[in-house]
């Protein structure tokens, strides 16, 4: 397993990040335990969750709770993991505007403590704002995170689904306050979704923010193995992108991978990791077997000719979806 610094920080993370969104929902706890065991054996030291996983309703927080029970049952495992979680969405279906979507010092104070309790840990290594909140002031945003860092509850701060302009805005404010600011940004990025190349990746690279792409396999479509189910991410991607596992584009990708003697999983993730702004790729694992190709993906270096072929095959001007009625990042993110 390869490692790199996360953004401008000196924090070393594996180039594959274990995504735990399915824990407690599509992945039962016993399988989740096997996945975490295997991830540590492989050297995957970067694990990502969120307080709202595996919602909706009372299932929110289940992923964090499963990880917390794992740490308690496996002595020493916590200190082998760079643990990332997120805050933004409502945790309960209550009629209280202070606990609706968004962040505030009032809300985050409760949510960070609740996450710490579920995760059974004394700190969150990377605490991420799950989606941009356009109404919060820079003073409140950085004031609450400076307090969390000073208290030792949070070590580093990250964002998710922020557009490039907000990365620049928030990072500049942090620097003016003498604070490290954001070290990471999660965004949907893969061979089919190239919109982050317009603004997010350049801004992140310039501001010392490590990009952590989610859905590097485009919901499984790039593997050509997944059969879409109603309501699944694969079905959502197929519908929005107008691309199915049987399309000519995906079949051409499969043929290129075969010529390289590499799996589509390894090639798709390796392409993502080849982008200069990218630190680590988040792979949402449902079964232990899904981890088998991750080590190869982290080690595979694609040559310039292959990267050029992939760029031409998935040219950004050929049918890339964008919701022109909505601003970034909603124009191209969930």
| Active-site annotation, residues | 53
Q: Report helix, strand or coil for 97.
A: helix
Q: Please choose, from the candidates 186, 175, 115, 113, the residue with its C-alpha nearest in 3D space to the C-alpha of residue 142.
A: 175
Residue 173: alpha-carbon gap to chain centroid? 24
Q: Please choose, from the candidates 168, 164, 171, the residue with its C-alpha nearest in 3D space to the C-alpha of residue 198.
A: 164
Are the C-beta atoms of residues 145 and 157 closer than 8 Å to each other? yes
Q: Dump the DSSP string for 26-88.
A: TB-HHHHHHHHHHHHHHT--EEE--TTTT-SGGGTTHHHHHHHHHHHHSTT-GGG-EEEEEE-
**CB under 8 Å to 30, separation ≥6 — which residues?**
none
DSSP H or E run through 107: helix 105-119
What's the rounded Cα separation, in Å, for the pair 48 and 63? 10
Q: Please choose, from the candidates 139, 123, 196, 188, the residue with its C-alpha nearest in 3D space to the C-alpha of residue 164.
A: 196
Q: Dump the DSSP string for 194-261.
A: -GGGTTHHHHHHHHT-EEEEE-TTGGGGGGT-PPP-TTSHHHHHHHHHT--TTSHHHHHHHHHHHHHT
Are the C-beta atoms of residues 93 and 57 closer than 8 Å to each other? yes
**DSSP assigned state of 290:** G
């Amino acid at each position: 397993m390869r490692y790199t610094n996360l953004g401008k920080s000196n924090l070393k993370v594996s180039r594959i990040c274990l995504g735990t969104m399915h824990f407690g929902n599509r992945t039962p706890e016993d399988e989740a335990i096997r996945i975490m065991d295997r991830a540590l054996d492989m050297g995957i030291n970067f694990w990502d969750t969120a307080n709202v996983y595996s919602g909706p309703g009372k299932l929110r927080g289940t992923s964090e709770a499963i990880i917390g029970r794992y740490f308690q049952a496996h002595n020493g495992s916590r200190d082998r993991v760079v643990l990332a979680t997120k805050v933004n969405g409502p945790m309960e279906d209550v009629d209280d505007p202070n606990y609706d979507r968004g962040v505030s010092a009032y809300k985050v104070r409760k949510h960070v403590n609740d996450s710490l309790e579920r995760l059974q840990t004394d700190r969150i290594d990377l605490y991420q704002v799950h989606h941009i909140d356009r109404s919060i002031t820079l003073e409140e945003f950085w004031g609450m995170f400076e307090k969390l860092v000073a208290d030792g509850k949070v070590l580093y701060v990250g964002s998710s689904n922020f557009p490039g302009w907000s990365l620049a805005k928030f990072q500049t404010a942090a620097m003016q306050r003498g604070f490290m600011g954001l070290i990471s940004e999660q965004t949907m990025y893969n061979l089919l979704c190239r919109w982050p190349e317009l603004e997010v990746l350049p801004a992140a690279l310039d501001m010392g923010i490590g990009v952590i792409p989610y859905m590097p396999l485009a919901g499984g479509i790039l593997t050509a193995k997944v059969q879409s189910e109603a309501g699944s991410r694969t079905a959502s991607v197929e519908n929005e992108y107008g691309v199915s596992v049987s399309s000519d584009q995906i079949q051409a990708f499969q043929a290129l991978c075969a010529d390289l003697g590499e799996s589509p999983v390894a090639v798709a993730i390796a392409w993502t990791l080849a982008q200069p702004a990218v630190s680590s790729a988040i792979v949402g694992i449902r079964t232990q077997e899904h981890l088998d190709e991750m080590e190869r993906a982290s080690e595979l270096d694609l040559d310039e000719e292959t990267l050029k072929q992939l760029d031409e095959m998935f040219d950004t001007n050929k049918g890339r979806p964008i919701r022109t009625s909505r601003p970034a990042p909603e124009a191209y993110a969930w």
